[in-house]
Amino acid sequence: MTRRYDLQVHTDASPCSRTPPERVAAAAVDAGLDGIAVTDHDTVANVESVRDAAPDDLDVISAVEVTTTEGHLLALDVTEAPPQADPLTVIDHVHDQGGVAVLSHPFDALRQYYETDLEALAEAVDGIEAVNSRCVSRRFNERAAAFAAAHDLPATGGSDAHFPMEVGRAYTSVEGDGSLADAVREGRVRPGGRGRYLSGHVATKLHQFRTVSGRTITDLTSGRFP
Ligand SMILES: [Zn+2]
Ligand SMILES: [Zn+2]
């Protein structure tokens, strides 16, 4: 049996998304997914609301996209947001909670990314996000996939959705039964879907433009994506 999970989905508990929990749950159903990880930035605040809104057959994983001192890190199957510390400390926190740690868009040079201690990270981490729909250059995902392969690490995929229409654009195929966390630990996952999607960023920029007009010109020209 193969199930499909989108392992990176944001709600309006993230500053850069305005999608309420009910719409995230509905979008996951519309996309035909078996599960999603609710990965808001540094908070689990909306996980329960997404669960409440989801049908019983949609597996909602409690998760966090942690802002480490280097790149972003997906803490999957955790109940508390880990501290915004260095990556190895964050990974320890995730493991102490019984969760799995996956490096999120690890080599996306336009966002926060990882550049130091990559060997130590490869030793500690449980997986690498090798397909992220918001990587504007194909090379960022290719480098992540190569890193995963070189270190024999499981690779995952996620849409990094900030808007309902993005949910499911990238996903993780899960082989076999049991929990998603075990599937990652045992390497029964593989990434799929679309890895390059610019219009989500454009929509985010328009959202920022609407919310903070006056100051947005700098945001628009900074070259940094959320
Ligand atoms: Zn991120
Ligand atoms: Zn994200």
User: How many whole angstroms separate alpha carbon 31 and alpha carbon 38?
Assistant: 15
Length of the chain: 226
Contact assessment for residue 77 and residue 179, using Cβ atoms and an 8 Å cutoff: yes
**Is residue 205, in this structure, part of any structural domain at all?**
no
Would you state the pLDDT for residue 199? 60
Residue 109: pLDDT over 50: yes
**Is residue 217, in this structure, part of any structural domain at all?**
no
**Is residue 65, in this structure, part of any structural domain at all?**
yes
Nearest to 199 by CA among 155, 154, 166: 166
**Is residue 220, in this structure, part of any structural domain at all?**
no
Alpha-helix residue ranges (DSSP H) falling in the chain: 21-30, 47-53, 87-96, 118-124, 138-150, 180-185, 199-211, 216-221
Ligand 1 center–CA 225 separation, angstroms: 9
Residue pLDDT, tens place only, 33-73: 999 999 999 999 999 999 999 999 999 999 999 999 999 99
- Domain limits at 124? 2-198
**Is residue 83, in this structure, part of any structural domain at all?**
yes
Ligand 2 center–CA 9 separation, angstroms: 7
**Is residue 209, in this structure, part of any structural domain at all?**
no
**Is residue 15, in this structure, part of any structural domain at all?**
yes
Nearest to 180 by CA among 171, 170, 191, 188: 188
Ligand 1 center–CA 20 separation, angstroms: 19
DSSP state of 17: -
Ligand 1 center–CA 26 separation, angstroms: 22
Ligand 2 center–CA 87 separation, angstroms: 16
Neighbouring residues of 215: CB distance < 8 A, sequence distance ≥ 6: none
Ligand 1 center–CA 168 separation, angstroms: 16
CATH number at residue 161: 3.20.20.140
Residue type for position 4: R
Domain count for the chain, please give it.
1
**Is residue 187, in this structure, part of any structural domain at all?**
yes
Residue pLDDT, tens place only, 125-159: 999 999 999 998 899 999 999 999 999 999 999 99
Ligand 2 center–CA 159 separation, angstroms: 8
Two tokens at 71?
A: 């790149």
Ligand 1 center–CA 135 separation, angstroms: 10
Full-prediction pTM beyond 0.85? yes
